Amino acid sequence: MLAYLDHHATTPCDPAVVAAMAPWWSEHWANPDSRLYRPALEAAAAVERARGQLAQSLGALPQAVIFTSGATEANNLALKGTCELALEQGQPRRRLLSLVSEHRAVLDPLAYLGRHGFPLELLPVAPDGLVDLDRLEAALGDDVLLVSVMAANNEIGVLQPLAAIAALCQRRGVLLHVDAAQAAGHIPLAMAELGIDLLSLSGHKFYGPKGVGALLVRPGLGLAPQLHGGGQQDGRRAGTLAVPLIVGLGEALVLAQADRAMRAARLGALRDQLWAGLQQLGGVGLNGCLDPRLAHNLNVTVEGVDGQQLHQLLRRQLAVSSGSACSQGSPSHVLAALGRSRQEAAASIRFGLGRGSTEAEIDLALAAVTEAVIALRR
């Protein structure tokens, strides 16, 4: 038995989502932008229904939703689109702020913009993984255009104080982008209520299909499109819409919202059981604060073992990771931001529980880690 505990990397597509998508592959396959005949109008209606599902689930208006290929594209559209429009309009603000612990899908576009006339400042995080609000406030000068902060960290699961961050940004007239790839469908998110200007998400993180996501944009906020060639989605993102994937995205988020509270309670209890068991080994440290944190996340560093050997032993029974699926085996920059050394980061384990996780899998995980750690410490 292989226990899959890497749900931050991806989640299985819910069977109900697969069923909802099924007719749109081969029975109702018209292009939603043709709109001159009934099949196309039906496809367009399906897209608009999904748009409404996302908007209602995330406390936004339907016109806020731009469908993308995933959170990476949504992040690029949000960041580059904001900066390019500011350039076109002669906006004097240029500086960008973010955190050292962000996902590469944010850090890399920001670094690109930093090389093209938009100075970038990456703020440190505290050892618990959270931003220092006083430090953020001090950095919010009149030259700051945008702040980008992820809602939930993809490695250590900590939840940034979005409402407080948004209040600081609004006070200084600064735009706030939130990468909610790990948060959407897992924690309450009301975009307008929180004061978020741009919000990115990806379907495969909440039991939807891979290859689809969305960027939600506050009404009245402009963006320079990053894809040109058809004028779809009001000219904000060109390209024929993937109707089956969009239908699946909307259905997945509705289902995730429906069982979110119950799922968080159940997985939080399993996570706490796992953490209590790991502490019995001794020399196991928690990465990031335990609260506020995603209920299905646990990230620990194991002392006195070689990280590569540890993961070689664990992979026989557990699907877990030492960091982001996008890190390609490099030491975690998130754990480095918390003060962990390269060796400590390599000897860290990210557990990502999911809808199908069971107590038997937690028992298996504890047994596998215990066996591996005892063997390596010898």
Q: What is the CATH number of the domain that holds 280?
A: 3.90.1150.10
Tokens 């890399």 correspond to what residue? 108
Half-sphere exposure of residue 101, counting CA atoms within 13 Å on the CB side?
Answer: 31
- Same-domain status, 19 and 166: yes
Mean pLDDT of 232-238: 96
Quick one: which of 354, 332, 334 has its CA closest to 343? Answer: 332
- Same-domain status, 336 and 233: no
Task: Select from 213, 231, 258 the last residue of a domain.
Answer: 258
- Same-domain status, 165 and 33: yes
Residues 165-191 pLDDT 10s: 999 999 999 999 999 999 999 999 999
| Total domains present in the chain | 2
- Same-domain status, 102 and 154: yes
pTM of the predicted model as reported, rounded to 2 decimal places: 0.96
Q: What is the pLDDT of residue 196?
A: 98
Mean pLDDT of 94-112: 98
Domain that holds residue 296: 3-11+259-377
Mean pLDDT taken over the chain: 96
- Same-domain status, 304 and 225: no
Q: What is the pLDDT of residue 326?
A: 59
Residue 164, H or E segment:
helix 162-171
Q: What is the pLDDT of residue 322?
A: 84
Percent of the chain with pLDDT over 90: 97
Half-sphere exposure of residue 366, counting CA atoms within 13 Å on the CB side?
Answer: 18
Q: What is the pLDDT of residue 328?
A: 58
Has 83 been annotated as catalytic? no
pLDDT tier at 330 (50, 70, 90 boundaries)?
confident
pLDDT at 35 over 60: yes
- Same-domain status, 251 and 268: no
pLDDT at 78 over 80: yes
Residue 19: other Cβ atoms inside 10 A: 11
Residues across the chain: 378
Q: Which two tokens stand for residue 365?
A: 């995980």
- Same-domain status, 197 and 285: no
Mean pLDDT of 324-342: 82
pLDDT tier at 1 (50, 70, 90 boundaries)?
confident
- Same-domain status, 252 and 266: no
- Same-domain status, 44 and 98: yes
Strand, helix or coil for residue 46:
helix
Q: What is the CATH number of the domain that holds 231?
A: 3.40.640.10
- Same-domain status, 218 and 282: no
Mean pLDDT of 66-73: 98
Catalytic residue among 13, 83, 169, 326: 326
Is residue 146 within 8 Å of 82, Cβ to Cβ? yes
pLDDT at 264 over 70: yes
Q: What is the pLDDT of residue 41?
A: 97
Task: Select from 222, 238, 258 the last residue of a domain.
Answer: 258
- Same-domain status, 211 and 148: yes
Task: Select from 214, 242, 258 the last residue of a domain.
Answer: 258
- Same-domain status, 222 and 310: no
Residues 118-158 pLDDT 10s: 999 999 999 999 999 999 999 999 999 999 999 999 999 99
pLDDT at 325 over 70: no
Q: What is the pLDDT of residue 309?
A: 97
pLDDT at 329 over 70: no
Q: What is the pLDDT of residue 324?
A: 61
